[in-house]
Amino acid sequence: MVKRFADILISIIVLLGFLPFGLVIIVTLAVVDPGPIFYRQERIGRDGKKFFLWKFRTMRVHQSWEGGPITLGSKDPRITPLGYYLRMSKLDEFPQLWNVLTGEMSLVGPRPEVEKYVRLYDDEQKRVLTLRPGCTDISVIRGHLHDEALLDHQQEDPEQYYINVIMPKKLAHNLHYLEHQSSFLDLQILVGTILLLLRIQKNQPMTDNIGMSKLEVSKKD
């Protein structure tokens, strides 16, 4: 109940504070790339329930994520120049605060995946589905803020690299979060995410409340 109350209170405060800047994004999108302002995509949430995740649209009209390959950062031709900036700054994610208010997401929790990837989870990995998905998660402060940029440089099939390398690491981090979740750890993840987005924290591993660094977690993946 405490976490849910914090989710609602913080989301309302951030939404009100972000409103003027959000209006600028909306107007800019309407002028630069006319079309729908928002994009929604079906994701898998807590207990395997489906819900629609909201974002500012970053792809060209009629070129959505549905059924297409995984997005590839700067090399994905479907992404608009403005959309690329929104994605790299994570400003496209702000509409997900609405998902938080409706109870479909939390501020902190495993990032929700699409069904095609959730189907690949083994029994241990499926344990993350007992948690409410989040706007940010522990994997973000442990090197997974810009996974799409990492896929830019893959010579092999980028989607297979995501499935075989990136996704298992993210799930391992979130299983660690499942075992050690606390209000203090949530606060560390929120602060760490903000610092990363502000480029204040540069290539420095962040430790959680039990003293495990990014390097130590990586060794266990």
What is the residue extent of each domain of the chain? 2-220
pLDDT of residue 73: 55
Q: Where are the beta strands (DSSP E) in 24-144?
A: 38-44, 50-56, 106-108, 134-136
Rounded to 10 degrees, the C-alpha dihedral 95/99/102/105 comes to -150
Residue 219 identity: K
The owner of tokens 């405490």 is 2
Pick from 174, 208, 173, 170: nearest CA to 188: 208
d(CA 21, CA 16): 10
Band the pLDDT of 77: cuts 50, 70, 90: confident
pTM to 2 decimals?
Answer: 0.81
Give the model confidence (pLDDT) of 111-142 as tens digits: 999 999 999 999 999 999 999 999 999 999 88
Band the pLDDT of 179: cuts 50, 70, 90: very high
pLDDT of residue 48: 96
Expressed in angstroms, the distance from the first to the final Cα of the chain is 32
Give the model confidence (pLDDT) of 145-161 as tens digits: 777 666 666 656 778 88
**Residue 204 in this model has a pLDDT that exceeds 80:** no
